[in-house]
Amino acid sequence: MAAESPRADESAWCRPLFEGTQLSMLVCDPVSQEILDVNDAILHLLGYTRDQMLSMRLPDLYARGGQERDDGLGPETCQLHSHVRRVAGADGNDHHAILQRTAIEYGGRDAVLVVLQDVTRHVEAEVQLRETQNELHRAQALAMIGNWIWDAASDSHVSTSPEGCRILGFRPEEAPVSTAEIYARIHPDDRALAEQARERALHDPGYKYDVEFRLIRPDGEVRWLHSVAEVRRDACGRAVKMLGLVQDVTERRRAEDNVRRLAYYDTVTGLPNMNLFESEVEDRLVQLRRGAGRGRSPARLACLIVDLVRFRDVNYALTHMYGDVLLALVADRLAAVIGQAGVVARCDSRFPIVLDGADEEEARRWAQHLLRALEAPFAVAGISYEIGARIGIAFAPLQGLDYHTLLRKADIALYQAAGMARNVAVYVAEDDPHTPDRLSLIGDFRAAIESGQIQLFCQPKVTMDGGEIVGAEALVRWVHPEKGCIGPETFMPLIEATDLIHLLTQHMLATAVTQCEAWRALGVRLPIAVNLSARDIAALSLSEHLRELLELHGSCAGLIGLEMTESSLMQNPAESIAELERLSGMGFKLYIDDFGTGYSSLSYLSRLPVDVIKIDHGFTMQMIEDGRAASIVKSTVHLAHDLGMRVVAEGVSNARIWDALQALGCDEAQGFYVAAPMPAAQLLDWARASPYRLLDEHACA
């Protein structure tokens, strides 16, 4: 074996090679590993002097702290083979070097030629590359982004970064993963979309693959993923690879859903809010307008507004927190009725609903379903409440082709329902106070007061046991030079929405005082009760105003009554009580109007200094046919008497009602059966001709 080895010292051709080569070389003893010879290249590389190196053993060169074993230079390791080692330079810096060793004969003895190839730069670059890759993986994990490569030939994801594997729900060792396996994990609702995007990206070079879909992880967790990819093609344009990035965007989607929920849904009930409702209705109207334009079969929709009649009062009694609970319960019932037939939204204590394709008959049927659903009492905070509901309905395209018109008309229908004491009403143009014609009336209202067109009509009230005329209610009429006598239902809704209501109330009070004084001058005592609106109680300093008015006319408070509804008082309960105390203390007679239509809070009622309760005509007029109405009338009479109040029944329109009320012990009656409202100036003539008795004036009581 030794005979075949080259001789570094003896072969003339070997020496110049050893001396002149760029390769770093040394010769050492195979047993003692003492260095016998070195070339210039190795001196240059390691920085030692020739003498230093010739006094060293080969292991002295190995860097301290290196992991490498000193594996000796036995014949078996002295084959021509390579080793990467760390070798210490004279300056203390380590070099990464490949050591190749081969047995030679040197000066007639066995020796080992060691060729040292410095690979420090490669090793460092490799380490850096590995670090960069690790950093990339860490960054990917942080950003929840992974990359993947799909290969057309095998139709599988051939390479996926660790984070990519995690996102897609696979272990790295499971790769390659077939396309079918990946798509099987996509949420069934998103699968078609993701497949379409992929197909398109593969076949259409102009298309950018960019999709979001849900993926179901093996543990069942659903995550939202965003995937983008680039397609690599061969010379013929066939897709060979897809290089993609996939990101877990679940948190972002959740945040977006949250924002969407806050922007478009009511937090109290979870129903759509008015923003979403408007866009839902608008979308339908756009389709409807298009459909109508092309002469298709007449499309239509119905807009309903469900109003909770007594909610305001319940809310007051319950405090807002429980009021919200109640609204949520109502919302559940309404949504359960409507289901997929339309959209239910919430706006305060109202629930606007759009019904697809409903005509009047269907809409009315739905309205009845809704009312029935709300009939059963609602249990809140251990108490059950019947809140009562009313529904106004308008239709598209019949009554409007834009959202605001439709909603306004449904709102007016609601008002019309209230006016007619009905639960459901469909919009009727003739009753709409907001038609341009009526709006122009409002512009004329101030002038109408000044020119005497706004007149005092009176409807008498008589005692049921003695038939005495004990007073009259002041009811406004607009005696218009062209339009004739206009009733309050035409203009009151608009007047009440503006400060004109104060002007009207002051006018009615002044006219009533004047009229009472005129009767007093004739020796007749006939008190007049004037209606107050909710805004009057809040804004007018009534007691002040009335004091001045009485002084001006030298009149007394006993001749004037003030009628107000429970709900108007509930808008500002504490202040209302204080004001009523003052008015009552001054001697004015106080009436609760339309009793039974609000949510009567008995504890509140008993604290009010009220003299008379007026039973709403809705109950009176139905009491013959409707047992429920009859029992409300009956219990109201008892309640009023228990609280030391008198009871007036409104809407006494025939003898049967009169008799029934008389049997229940009702104190006074007002209604067409006694007399319709008439101009105040005609009241005395009517009274004298009637079977009822007028009271003589004695003195101010």
Pick the closer one to Ca ion by CB: 492 or 518.
492
* Residue of 476, 529, 612, 613 that binds ligand C2E (CB under 6 A): 476
For ligand C2E, which stretch binds (CB under 6 A), given 425-433, 531-539, 626-634, 690-698?
531-539
Among ligand C2E, Ca ion, none, residue 649 binds (CB under 5-8 Å by kind): none
Q: Alpha carbon of 669 to those of 425, 430, 628, 640, 661: distances in Å?
A: 28, 31, 20, 15, 8
Q: Which of residues 639-698 bind Ca ion (CB under 5 A)?
A: 650
- Shortest spacing between CB 320 and Ca ion, in angstroms: 29
Which residues are 454's β-sheet partners?
478
By CB under 6 A, residue 683 contacts ligand C2E: no
Site string for ligand C2E, 560-599 (x = CB under 6 A): ---------------------------------xx-----
- Shortest spacing between CB 618 and Ca ion, in angstroms: 9
- Shortest spacing between CB 689 and Ca ion, in angstroms: 25
The two counts, helices (H) then strands (E), for the chain are 27, 29
By CB under 6 A, residue 488 contacts ligand C2E: yes
By CB under 6 A, residue 617 contacts ligand C2E: yes
Closest CA to 105 of 175, 7, 176: 7
Reading the block at residue 675, the tokens are 């007399």
- Shortest spacing between CB 564 and Ca ion, in angstroms: 9
d(CA 458, CA 135): 91
Pick the closer one to Ca ion by CB: 400 or 598.
598
- Shortest spacing between CB 630 and ligand C2E, in angstroms: 17
Pick the closer one to ligand C2E by CB: 146 or 561.
561
- Shortest spacing between CB 677 and ligand C2E, in angstroms: 5
| Helices 573-586, 542-553: crossing angle, 10 deg rounding | 20
Among Ca ion, ligand C2E, none, residue 350 binds (CB under 5-8 Å by kind): none
Strands 612-615 and 342-344: unpaired
By CB under 6 A, residue 474 contacts ligand C2E: yes
3-state secondary structure 119-144: CHHHHHHHHHHHHHHHHHHHHHHHHC
By CB under 6 A, residue 679 contacts ligand C2E: no
The answer to whether residues 208 and 228 touch, using CB atoms and an 8 Å cutoff, is yes
Pick the closer one to Ca ion by CB: 37 or 473.
473
SS3 268: coil
Residue 169's region, left for phi above 0, alpha for psi from -120 to 50, else beta, is left
* Residue of 594, 598, 657, 677 that binds Ca ion (CB under 5 A): 594
- Shortest spacing between CB 457 and ligand C2E, in angstroms: 7
- Shortest spacing between CB 533 and ligand C2E, in angstroms: 4
d(CA 257, CA 259): 5
| Core vs surface per residue 221-242: b (16+ CB within 10 A) or e | eebbbbbebebeeeeeeebebb
d(CA 417, CA 309): 11
Among Ca ion, ligand C2E, none, residue 492 binds (CB under 5-8 Å by kind): ligand C2E
Instruction: Dihedral sign for Cα 483, 531, 465, 700, please.
Output: negative
Among ligand C2E, Ca ion, none, residue 272 binds (CB under 5-8 Å by kind): none
Q: Binding-site residue total for Ca ion (CB under 5 A)? A: 5
- Shortest spacing between CB 597 and ligand C2E, in angstroms: 10
d(CA 395, CA 519): 51
For Ca ion, which stretch binds (CB under 5 A), given 96-104, 120-128, 186-194, 589-597?
589-597
By CB under 6 A, residue 618 contacts ligand C2E: no
Q: Alpha carbon of 80 to those of 30, 58, 84, 103: distances in Å?
A: 14, 17, 14, 8
d(CA 698, CA 696): 6
For Ca ion, which stretch binds (CB under 5 A), given 167-175, 394-402, 523-531, 679-687?
523-531
Strands (E), 403-514: 424-426, 454-463, 468-480, 484-486
The answer to whether residues 267 and 281 touch, using CB atoms and an 8 Å cutoff, is no
By CB under 6 A, residue 136 contacts ligand C2E: no
By CB under 5 A, residue 593 contacts Ca ion: yes
* Residue of 533, 567, 600, 622 that binds ligand C2E (CB under 6 A): 533
How many CA atoms are closer than 13 Å to the CA of 667, on its beta-carbon side?
Answer: 18
By CB under 6 A, residue 492 contacts ligand C2E: yes
Classify burial at 347, counting beta carbons within 10 Å of its beta carbon; exposed 0-12, middle 13-18, buried 19 or more.
middle
Pick the closer one to Ca ion by CB: 247 or 531.
531
The answer to whether residues 394 and 426 touch, using CB atoms and an 8 Å cutoff, is yes
Q: Binding-site residue total for ligand C2E (CB under 6 A)? A: 23
The answer to whether residues 668 and 462 touch, using CB atoms and an 8 Å cutoff, is yes
- Shortest spacing between CB 612 and ligand C2E, in angstroms: 13
For ligand C2E, the nearest residue by Cβ is 671
Among ligand C2E, Ca ion, none, residue 543 binds (CB under 5-8 Å by kind): none
| Helices 403-419, 274-293: crossing angle, 10 deg rounding | 110
Pick the closer one to Ca ion by CB: 531 or 584.
531
Pick the closer one to ligand C2E by CB: 532 or 546.
532
Q: Which of residues 554-573 bind Ca ion (CB under 5 A)?
A: 563
How many CA atoms are closer than 13 Å to the CA of 5, on its beta-carbon side?
Answer: 23
Residues at the contact surface with ligand C2E, assessed by CB under 6 A = 459, 474-476, 487-489, 492, 504, 508, 531-533, 593-594, 617, 650-653, 671-672, 677
Residues at the contact surface with Ca ion, assessed by CB under 5 A = 531, 563, 593-594, 650
